[in-house]
Amino acid sequence: MRVAALALLAACLSGCSAYRLGGEPALRDIEVRPVRNATPRPGTHAALDQALRAALASDARLRVRAGGAPLEAEVVAFQRAGAARQADDAVLDQAFRVTLTVRCTLRSADGRRTLFRDRDFSSSGILAATGDLAGEESRLLPRLCAEVAAQVRDAAVGAW
């Protein structure tokens, strides 16, 4: 009885020895193509390009290099909408929800396989109206870009 239990335990443990959590990504090398900006806000594409490269390079399963699978990204929306108002004023906003939306396509290097096409990734943050809104947006932008870049990285290496 004891021998059978040990044999069963050994078989179960050896069957899981090759399992790797998350698996291998479908692509190993990724080339980040120049990010396009379809919004009137200047500089958004440069911040996103930097965030994409950093997020992809942070995953040991990926290499960012020329000639890899092309990642195309376009900033399609950078929106600011009122999120809170003073109780006695229907016009003056106290806070804004800023949303960054990026559309991406990732294909294999040979172009035969598409991992995702025209997929939207977005991130939002709250911006307090304390004075210089443009300056506050500029401070919020790197965080929004980093969150979108992490979503893109996860979609590129996701095994499911």
pLDDT band at 71 (very low <50, low <70, confident <90, very high): very high
Summarize the confidence of residues 53-77 as an average pLDDT: 94
pLDDT value of residue 123: 97
**Which of 133, 128, 104, 127 lies closest to 116, judged by CA?**
104
pLDDT band at 84 (very low <50, low <70, confident <90, very high): low
pLDDT value of residue 1: 65
pLDDT value of residue 36: 97
The pair of three-digit structure tokens given for residue 137, joined into one six-digit string? 């947006």
Asked if residues 94 and 128 have their Cβ atoms less than 8 Å apart, the reply is: yes
User: What whole-number percentage of the chain has pLDDT above 70?
Assistant: 76
Separation between Cα atoms, residue 30 and residue 56, nearest integer Å: 8
Q: Is 111 left (phi over 0), alpha (psi -120 to 50) or beta?
A: left
User: What whole-number percentage of the chain has pLDDT above 90?
Assistant: 51
Set out the domains of the chain in order of their start, with CATH numbers. Answer: 25-157 (3.30.160.150)
Residue tagged 């294909």 (tokens): 107
User: Rounded to a whole number, what is the distance in angstroms from the first to the last CA of the chain?
Assistant: 40
Predicted model pTM: 0.77
Asked if residues 124 and 78 have their Cβ atoms less than 8 Å apart, the reply is: no
Strand positions, DSSP E, 40-150: 63-64, 69-85, 93-107, 114-128
Residue tagged 């396009």 (tokens): 36
